[in-house]
Chains A and B, each alone.
Chain A
Amino acid sequence: MDLLQQRKKKKLSYNISIYLMIVIAYAVVMLLSSQGKISSLFQGLLVPFCTYSILAVSLNLVVGISGELSLGHAGFMCVGAFTSAIFTRYMKFLGVEGLYLFVIAIIIGAFSAGVFGLLIGIPVLRLKGDYLAIVTLAFGEIIKNIANAIYLGFDENGVHLSLKNTMDLGLSDKGFIVVKGAQGITGTPHYSSFTAGVILLLITITIILNLIESRTGRNIKALRDNRIAAESVGISAMKYKLIAFSIASAMAGVAGVLYAHNLTTLTALPKNFGYNMSITILVFVVLGGMGKIRGSIIAAVVLTLLPEMLRGLQDYRMLIYSIVLIVVMIFTSAPSIKQYVEVFKNKFPKLTRNPVLMKKTKKEGK
């Protein structure tokens, strides 16, 4: 029990470090911002930091914790963004506005993206590895393209939906078109703020950290490590992979809500909801470390900030990303490099502490 207690403490301090990191960053930003010391460029990045952090942390649940390669994460973000913006935009048309609508929008975004995750997950999670990656990528693109083609309006007869044009909707005079095809949704109320983003990020992190230390989370990790063994102890692969996938999708949906209500115009572009975005999120996860929540956040923030600071290099952003991704993957998976890391670990045992060893050294030290 001693050892277990020690390990729990270690985990707790890791978790606390994540919360502290976010809370301190938030406090510093708020302080500087109140003194007007923050550039407008940086100010504009505050909500995206939160959006991308939520996306990275939630994709980590699929890729790092569940061990499935998904390239369609931005698609679920798209679902959350559009469903919630349709709601708030229509409410605005009806003359109803207020922050409480944002709370409802978040619930709508999370729920709809979660349901999409579930429905897509059922057929798709039967596949593994590269096949799963390709199919999720395709689904992500499909979602984005559908969002791009939808015309949606309301009138006294209810909802009107078309994939052709605004005329095809057949709205009455009192009707209102919310989604205009490729032009998307314009005039979305601006509900997102850095504070809201930080709160949502904290909630996301709490859910994930609690999940991975619960029965469900352990079952998910067991399936990742050895599916056959997990089934031999009675764990249903489909059930737990689906749980991980839909929770992550719902969280991506929340990121979408945050994204949509930070802009006045919401359109589905390859840049924001396409595979480019999905891969960018994957880069955050890979660079931050598989299964490492804190790493995902740091990677998301740093890699969102960096290209903005190097505006001149904007065109090369994806190129730099790809190169960095390849380099990191080589470093983390090549056996020869792993060997070097092992040698390094053996030379400096203190840097790479093993809990069992740590106990001994601590006692001797006292």
Chain B
Amino acid sequence: MKENIMLSVKNLSITFGGLHAVENFNLDIKENELYGLIGPNGAGKTTIFNLLTGVYKPTTGSITLNGVNKIDGKNTIEINKMGIARTFQNIRLFDKLTVHDNVKIALQNKYRYSTVSGIFRLGRYHRYEALMDEEALALLKVFNLENEATMKSSNLPYGKQRKLEIARAIATNPKVLLLDEPAAGMNENETKELMNTIKLVRDKFNMTILLIEHDMKLVKGICEELTVLNFGKILAQGETSEVLKNKEVIKAYLGE
């Protein structure tokens, strides 16, 4: 069986001033794969996400989605429409809005209706609002957030805020989901539960997931392939079990 490459990154580099934050980065993620990107703090992981989502423009390199769509050069909004969604290392929710509205907002692209039909409650307004309500709630259920639906999102406990961010990203119906340290700040149980949810999401929504983690243990359980990043460069890449045996990786991680 020929496997489809969903996300392909070639020779990606970016420099900030004199700092090579990411250098010659290459990556191929297969469709429906759960891929891990790990590395110490400051290695350039989040920067790669920012490059993939158009927040930063790369100095060199190309990014291709699903073999045909060129991502580099596009802006964040276009990239989201093409099928890449993300979460943030520092949680970014719509703080003053409800949990449910946070997800509903992410459905805005799927259920488009004009400002005029919104103001005068005409046309698609009623039907689309009902569909959005239902779909947003269904997504909240996947993350066990349905009981908090009408809570202000900033009042959610930390772990649930992270889940809500994932639910929101999924609501945009992406092909590729980028998760930036989704388990940061969670205890061991919460982390385990989250990892199960991530697997479930991948299967249920048929998504390709790139996951940043800082903690090696975590990644071991769920990622099929790994890239280890250090000082902006690839230290090792390949199947998880192979990468974890790599001497350099062990050295960089355990400092031996």
Q: Which of B76, B111, B113 contacts A231 (CB 8 A)?
A: B76
Q: Mark A187-228, 1 if CB is under 8 A from B, else 0.
A: 000000000000000000001001100111111011011101
- Closest residue of chain A to B92 (Cβ to Cβ) is A229
Distance (whole angstroms) from the CB of B162 to the closest CB of chain A: 13
Contacting pair A235 B119 (CB below 8 A):
no
A233 interface residue (CB < 8 Å to B):
yes
B37 interface hit (Cβ, 8 Å): no
Q: Is B97 a contact partner of A222 (Cβ separation < 8 A)?
A: yes
Residue ranges of A at the interface with B (Cβ–Cβ < 8 Å): 1, 3-4, 6-7, 207, 210-211, 214-219, 221-222, 224-226, 228-236, 243, 354-356
Q: Does B208 sit at the interface, judged by CB under 8 A?
A: no
Cα distance, A235 to B110, chains bound together (Å):
12
Looking at the complex, which one of B86, B111, B112 makes contact with A232 (CB distance below 8 Å)? B86
Q: Would you call B111 and A215 a contact (CB within 8 A)?
A: yes
A210-B118, A218-B97 given; A234·B77 CB < 8 A: yes
Provide the bound-state CA to CA distance between A218 and B105, in Å. 6
Which residues in B have their C-beta under 8 angstroms from that of A216? 114-115, 118-119
Is B194 interfacial (CB-CB < 8 Å)?
no
CB pair B77 A219 closer than 8 Å: no
CB distance from A233 to the nearest CB of B (A): 4
A229 to B102, CA, bound (A): 10
Among A7, A211, A233, the residue within 8 A (CB) of B115 is A211
B83-110 residues at the A interface, CB under 8 angstroms: 85-86, 88, 92-98, 100-101, 104-106, 108-109
The total of chain B residues at the interface (CB under 8 A) is: 48
Q: Are B147 and A233 in contact (CB under 8 A)?
A: no
Partner of B77 from A211, A236, A356 at Cβ < 8 Å:
A236
Residue from B53, B55, B125, B151 in contact with A214 in the complex, judged by beta carbons closer than 8 Å? B125
Indicate whether A229 sits within 8 Å of B150 (C-beta atoms), given known contacts A215-B113, A216-B118, A217-B118: no
- A7–B80 CA distance with the chains assembled, in angstroms: 30
Residues of chain B contacted by A218 (CB below 8 angstroms): 97, 101, 104-105, 108
Is the beta-carbon distance between A235 and B108 smaller than 8 angstroms?
A: yes
Query: Contacts A214-B119, A233-B168 given; 12 further ones with Cβ under 8 A?
Result: A1-B133, A1-B137, A7-B98, A218-B101, A218-B104, A221-B94, A221-B96, A222-B97, A225-B95, A228-B55, A229-B93, A234-B108
Please determine whether B88 and A229 come into contact, CB atoms closer than 8 angstroms: yes
State the CA gap A236–B115 with chains docked (Å). 14
Distance of A216 Cα from B80 Cα, bound (Å) = 18
Is B149 in the interface zone, CB < 8 Å from A? yes
Which B residues are closer than 8 A to A by beta carbons?
53, 55, 76-77, 80-81, 85-86, 88, 92-98, 100-101, 104-106, 108-109, 111-115, 118-121, 125, 128-129, 133, 137, 146-151, 155, 168-169, 171-172
Q: Is the CB of B149 within 8 A of A225?
A: no
Report Cα–Cα, A7/B111, bound state, in Å: 22
Q: Is the CB of B76 within 8 A of A354?
A: no
B118 touches A226 (CB 8 A): no
Contact B109 A230 (CB under 8 A): no
Q: Which 6 A-B pairs have the closest CB atoms?
A: A214-B118, A229-B92, A225-B94, A234-B80, A233-B106, A216-B115
Residues A231 and B97 in contact in the complex (CB < 8 Å), given A211-B118, A218-B108? no
Selected from A211, A219, A355, the residue in CB contact (under 8 A) with B105 is: A219
Q: Closest CB of chain A to B239's CB: distance in Å?
A: 30
The one of B111, B137, B150, B172 in contact with A233, judged by C-beta atoms closer than 8 angstroms, is B172
User: Smallest Cβ distance from B150 to chain A, in angstroms?
Assistant: 4
Select from chain A the residue with minimum beta-carbon distance to B116. A216
Chain A residue numbers with a CB within 8 Å of B151 are 354-356
Residue pairs across A and B with Cβ atoms less than 8 A apart, 28 shown, are: A1-B137, A3-B149, A4-B149, A7-B150, A215-B118, A215-B128, A216-B118, A217-B118, A218-B104, A221-B101, A222-B97, A225-B93, A226-B93, A226-B95, A228-B88, A230-B94, A230-B105, A231-B76, A232-B85, A232-B86, A233-B105, A233-B106, A233-B109, A233-B171, A234-B77, A234-B172, A354-B151, A356-B148
